[in-house]
Structure 1
Amino acid sequence: MTVPEPAATRRGGRWIDEWDPEDEHFWREKGERIARRNLLFSIISEHIGFSIWTLWSVLVLFMGPEYGIDAAGKFFLVSVATLVGAVVRVPYTFAVARFGGRNWTVVSASMLLLPTAAAFLVMEPGTSYTTFMLVAMLTGVGGGNFASSMTNINSFFPLRKKGWALGLNAGGGNIGVPVIQLVGLLVIATAGDGEPRVLLAVYTPLIVLAAFLAWRYMDNLAPVRNDTGAARESVRDGHTWIMSFLYIGTFGSFIGYSFAFGLVLQNQFDRTPLQAASITFIGPLLGSLIRPLGGYWADRFGGARITLATFAGMAAATGVVIVASAAESLPVFLVGFIALFVLSGLGNGSTYKMIPGIYRAKALARGLTGEDADAWGRRLSGAAIGLIGAVGALGGLGINLAFRQSFQATGTGTGAFASFLVFYAVCFVVTWAVYLRRPARPAGPVARGAGTGEGAEERHAYVGV
């Protein structure tokens, strides 16, 4: 949601008044070095943000019978963390241009101390459920770090480098989920499942370090301003909401399952906290690592084709999980559930790659050509990405609420998985009908270089104009 404007000098802090990464001489002589430095420390901050956002996926493993909270109550705790993390992504997206990328990274990283300190104070039997819920809500601030971090890094890199940079930034952040689960495993294995404060003590200095590194080494870009006009236009565009729906299916699944995996293993298969923790990190880790491959395949074969295959695979994997649940087969269940993580990671990469292609196709349909079409597409896709990321994260809320209802009603997650199967089937149909089914008339002029990849795909797509 940000656009470069003529440089306007700002006082205080580390402000860069002139920034033109598309100028190859500037990029080679100065820009690349600065951009790479900011990317590195952005990844560190976002990584810790994801870890704190998903903190309660680990803390609930420490909450034994003495806490007096049943499975449904634990699923609701992780649900409120997911909800807040999704909602704050919208203001976090605008905060970068308003306060500066470096300044906001310092603030957003420092804010992670609030939920960590609060959890340290209350994590013991006898604390009221309402208190736990309020503290879980605080961890949602970590979910906003993704939106501000992606917006900030998007401004530093030229168009030809954005995919690589944003892929590294997103993947490095996502890995914060399995890392905190691994740390939780180590704590349970060494200190026992009655010492959740050890986990919190480990992360407190890491938060301080991330904030300090951002303050010391990152920069603010003065030419970047919020493009509120593009934001309003993207809200009115149907494709923003269609892609939000599809991103619910990919990223919503990834974050929702990341929160829920350990709880499902404990409550459906009677795993101990240590047994659950020894497995839960595997799915998020594989899903994070494979995300760049989803983007690479989307570049090569077309984003909608990879997304379509992803939803078909997710539906099949969900079917495996349902069969395993009915048969009470833990090995088969793990194969299906981990496959869901891997496929959601692929889908995260491919759906993000679809967005620029869609809006460039819309620009061509409006009669724009060349750089004018590229600029219009970048402007609208940049605005849409922030909203799509926020709405997509709400899928994690839906998944955990579905698990809560299923365990409350039947004592298993089978009912929730059945609803997910239906949802993935709908996502499959929507992807095919909107982005792959060739319409009766072309959507607009053929993109430059059409014939392979996203341009060839989107020239036949219905673009809703």
Structure 2
Amino acid sequence: MRGRWIDHWEPEDPAFWRRVGAPIARRNLWASIAVEHVGFSVWTLWSVFVLFMGPEYGLDAAAKFLLVSTASFVGAVLRVPYTFAVARFGGRNWSVISGLLLLVPTVAAAFVLQPGTPYWVFLLMAALAGVGGGNFASSMTNINAFYPDARKGLALGLNAGGGNIGVAVIQLVALLIIAVAGAGQPKIILGVYIPLIVVVSVVAALGMDNITSVRNDTGAAKLALAHRHTAIMSFLYIGTFGSFIGYSFAFGLVLQTQFGRTPLEAAAVTFIGPLIGSLIRPLGGWLADRLGGARVTFWNFAAMALASLLCIGASGLGSLGLFTAGFICLFFFAGVGNGSTYKMIPAIFRREALARIAEGAEQGPALRHARRVSGAALGLISAVGALGGLLINLAFRQSFAAAGSGVPAFWAFLAFYVVCVAVTYAVYVRVAPVRAGARPRLASVRV
């Protein structure tokens, strides 16, 4: 180990892990969570600001949904270069850089967040907030390299859950500000987060490390892109993480638009869903470690379909309580599914490595290759999955514009979850018969 660069990293070696690996991995994990947490808060900043934007801003529901959709889209797109940035700059170095980049959208918003500002300026500010969405991809790619496969589910679940909870925390901060200072003081949020961004960036600089082998393997992303399971898992991740982030952006606006809630009434409920979805994500990884990611994901999508049906029924009855319960169930199962799907990704690449080892490949290089490619796949899949947040908010925007209700959007979500159930079962749960002596296809292997 030289400076902040680690030249030798073998987490699959039990002796190395006990003696050296575990303490270093834990230190990097907690520092990573801090930066990612604030990144998620900044990414969802405008989903909070729209709760403060009353009639004096001159924005209808469609305009507000477009604002949050813009932040969601930019955050999803940035996850691709952020994934590559870990290999180019090192996980620790990029955590510091990406943390400090969060100052751009927050400082800029402090100058323009007021009635009378042109709408295109608000759109630009929402787009800048998208830098917070990129942090997730680089953070997950980096932490994936630190942990052995048997511990990835819980580690990645903690990393993602600790980041995801930033959505709930900033919404809780907004609730407190609205309750104490009123709905006309959104800039107080920036006064909280601008100093916090500086603090977590310093924590990353002091507490994290770079791994040389990850930095040197810049071709891993190309290998991950060419892998068929990267596309399949990206589709499934749209259903889990895409749902979580999309509903996080939309929940407050839906309550205001469909049920006529005031900013304070909406803020009092909005944070509950993301909080539950974030806290439950490590449980999804833990269950996947023990029961298999595919099995957990399969049943989870079935539960999300039922929760969508509950929201549809509650909308027809005009029941705010039942609707809120259904929406929170969607957050709960999206959180579990986030953990289980992310556990599946490194398991797929490890299975391939074990198959190559059985055919005569050297164990060490094969497993290191699997870790590096799965790390790149994690980032790419997270980018595609985050686009689900854009699709959900666009669906709500169109649904309210056309029908004055979110019901058509929920029918679309229900249909999508049913497709996800079928895909998960066909590709990862069902084990096809294998002829004697034949090597099973990876698609038929349980993960």
Could you tell me the TM-score, scaled by structure 2's length? 0.93
Q: What is the aligned counterpart of 2:223 among 233, 241, 251?
A: 233
Alignment partner, residue 188 of structure 2 = 198
Shift in Å, 1:147: 1.1
Distance (whole Å) between structure 2 residues aligned to residue 111 and residue 41 of structure 1? 17
User: Which structure 2 residues correspond to residues 245-394 of structure 1 after superposition, within 5 A?
Assistant: 245-363=235-353, 368=359, 371=363, 374-375=367-368, 377-394=370-387
Q: Which residue of 1 is the match for residue 54 of structure 2?
A: 64
Amino acid paired to 1:70: D
- Pairwise CA distance, 1:445: 6.9
SS at match of 1:225: helix
Which AA in structure 2 matches 1:285?
L
The counterpart of 1:411, out of the listed 404, 408, 424, is 404
5+ residue gaps, structure 2: none
For 2:27 and 2:143, how far apart are their aligned partners in 1? Answer: 11
Among candidates 111, 114, 119, match of residue 109 of structure 2: 119
Q: Structure 1's 236 and 267: CA in aligned 2 closer, same or farther, altered over 3 A?
A: same
Measured at CA, do residues 167 and 462 of structure 1 come closer, stay the same or move farther in structure 2, by a change above 3 Å? closer
Alignment of 1:138-217 (within 5 A): 138-217=128-207
Tell me which protein shows more helix as a share of its residues: 2
* Corresponding residue to 1:397 among 390, 395, 399: 390
- 1:38 deviates by 2.0
Q: Is the 8 A contact 2:152 2:343 kept in 1?
A: no
1:426 to 410, 419, 430: 419
After TM superposition, give the deviation of residue 440 of structure 1 in Å: 4.4
TM-superposed CA distance for 1:369, in Å, is: 6.5
| Preserved contact between residue 361 and residue 444 of structure 1 (Cα < 8 Å) | no
Deviations 1:224-254 (A, max 9, x none): 3253433222212221111100000000000
Is the deviation greater in 57-66 or in 362-371? 362-371
Instruction: Tell me the residue number matched to 1:107.
Output: 97
The structural deviation recorded for 1:444 is 8.5
Q: Which residue matches 1:129?
A: 119
Please name the residue that 1:44 is paired with.
34
SS in 2 for 1:88: helix
Q: Deviations over 1:196-246 (max 9, x none)?
A: 001111111101111122223323333432534332222122211111000
**1-side partners of 2:150 and 2:279: how far apart?**
22
Alpha-carbon distance between aligned partners in 1 of 2:347 and 2:390, rounded to the nearest angstrom: 29
Which amino acid in the other structure matches residue 382 of structure 1? Answer: G
Tell me the residue number matched to 1:453. Answer: none
Q: Does the aligned pair in 2 maintain the 1:231–1:384 contact within 8 Å? A: yes
What percentage of residue pairs aligned between the two structures are identical?
65
1:137-160 Cα offsets, whole Å, 9 max, x none, are 001111111111122222333444
CA distance in 1, matches of 2:396, 2:419: 20
State the shift of 1:378 in Å.
Answer: 3.2
Structure 1 unaligned residues grouped into runs of 5+: 1-6, 448-456
Equivalent residues of 1:167, 1:292 under 8 A apart? yes
Contact 1:94–1:226 (8 Å) recurs in 2:
no
Aligned pair in 2 of structure 1 residues 48, 105: CA closer, same or farther (>3 Å)?
A: same
Provide the rounded CA distance (Å) in 1 between the counterparts of 2:404 and 2:49: 21
User: Are the aligned partners of 2:294 and 2:446 in contact in 1 as well (CA < 8 Å)?
Assistant: no
Count of residue correspondences? 444
> 1:348 Cα deviation (Å)?
0.7
- Larger displacement relative to structure 2 (180-189 or 163-172): 163-172
- Equivalents in 1 of 2:322, 2:124: separation in Å? 36
**How many Å separate the matches in 1 of 2:360 and 2:261?**
59
Report what 1:441 is aligned to: 434
SS in 1 for 2:115: coil
* 1:54 Cα deviation after fit: 0.7
1: distance between equivalents of 2:395 and 2:346? 32
Q: Structure 1 444/217 Cα, relative in aligned 2: closer, same or farther at 3 Å?
A: farther
Q: 1:434–1:462: 8 Å Cα contact kept in structure 2?
A: no
Structure 1: distance between partners of 2:443 and 2:398: 43
| Kept after mapping to 2: 8 A contact 1:361/1:459 | no
Q: Which of 271-280 and 222-231 deviates more?
A: 222-231
